[in-house]
């Protein structure tokens, strides 16, 4: 990393991605800023942009920002991370990467398990979770994954931990 300037940009609805972004910024001694506030920032000054968003029905919240700016960021190093309730099973993480991270750019992707926060969730998201709960409840011959999901989303939980960012820190420090 040496003299490279780094910024963490995040999109966070219930605070998990913000918390991970702040852990990363503390560890790297760089700024972490919400995507909605990036207008106030001159992104030209940064060499490395770390972008993070929460998983939202299989999509990384805010990933459009990276997709839309790929050509503007072509001289920068982009690192993407996602937070989500799903356990960090390699096959699931690979699915998240494949469905979200632009393939031809070969961008590094990291996944950090977080949880679910019903207290901070907005109305539309609460409704979506309610529908998912009903669908899982009604589903007959549930698979192990469905049973696990049904159990996991009943209440708020938090599996986030600072140590999960270590591989990302190691990678960024190697740049």
Ligand X SMILES: Cc1cc2nc3c(=O)[nH]c(=O)nc-3n(C[C@H](O)[C@H](O)[C@H](O)COP(=O)(O)O)c2cc1C
Q: How far is the CB of 7 from ligand X (least distance, A)?
A: 17
Q: How far is the CB of 75 from ligand X (least distance, A)?
A: 28
Of residues 4 and 95, the one with the C-beta less far from ligand X:
95
Of residues 77 and 83, the one with the C-beta less far from ligand X:
83
Three-state secondary-structure class, residue 77: strand
List of residues contacting ligand X (CB under 6 A)? 12-18, 54-58, 61, 83-86, 114-116, 121, 125, 128-129
Of residues 107 and 128, the one with the C-beta less far from ligand X:
128
Of residues 17 and 77, the one with the C-beta less far from ligand X:
17
Residue of minimal CB distance from ligand X?
54
Q: How far is the CB of 30 from ligand X (least distance, A)?
A: 19
* CA 154-155-159 angle, 5° bins: 115
Closest CA to 86 of 173, 35, 160: 160
DSSP class of residue 41 equals: S
CA 38 to chain centre: 17
Of residues 13 and 31, the one with the C-beta less far from ligand X:
13
Q: How far apart are CA 63 and CA 110, in angstroms?
A: 13
Q: How far is the CB of 44 from ligand X (least distance, A)?
A: 27
Residue 147 neighbours by CB under 8 Å, 6+ apart: none
Q: How far apart are CA 144 and CA 78, in angstroms?
A: 36
Q: How far is the CB of 42 from ligand X (least distance, A)?
A: 25
Q: How far apart are CA 14 and CA 31, in angstroms?
A: 20
């Amino acid at each position: 990393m040496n003299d490279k300037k780094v910024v963490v940009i995040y999109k966070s609805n219930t605070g998990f991605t913000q918390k991970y972004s702040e852990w990363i910024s503390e560890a790297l001694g760089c700024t972490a800023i919400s995507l909605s506030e990036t207008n106030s920032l001159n992104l030209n000054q940064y060499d490395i942009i770390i972008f993070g968003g929460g998983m939202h029905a299989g999509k990384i919240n805010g990933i459009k920002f990276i997709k839309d700016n790929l050509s503007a960021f072509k001289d920068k190093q982009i690192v993407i991370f996602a937070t989500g309730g799903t356990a960090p099973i390699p096959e699931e993480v690979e699915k998240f990467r494949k469905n979200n991270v632009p393939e031809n750019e070969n961008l590094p992707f990291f996944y950090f398990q977080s949880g679910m926060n019903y207290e901070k969730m907005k109305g539309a998201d609460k409704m979506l979770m309610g529908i998912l709960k009903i669908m899982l409840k009604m589903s007959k011959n549930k698979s192990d994954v469905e049973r696990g999901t049904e159990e996991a989303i009943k209440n708020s939980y938090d599996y986030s931990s600072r140590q999960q960012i270590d591989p990302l820190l190691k990678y960024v420090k190697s740049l």
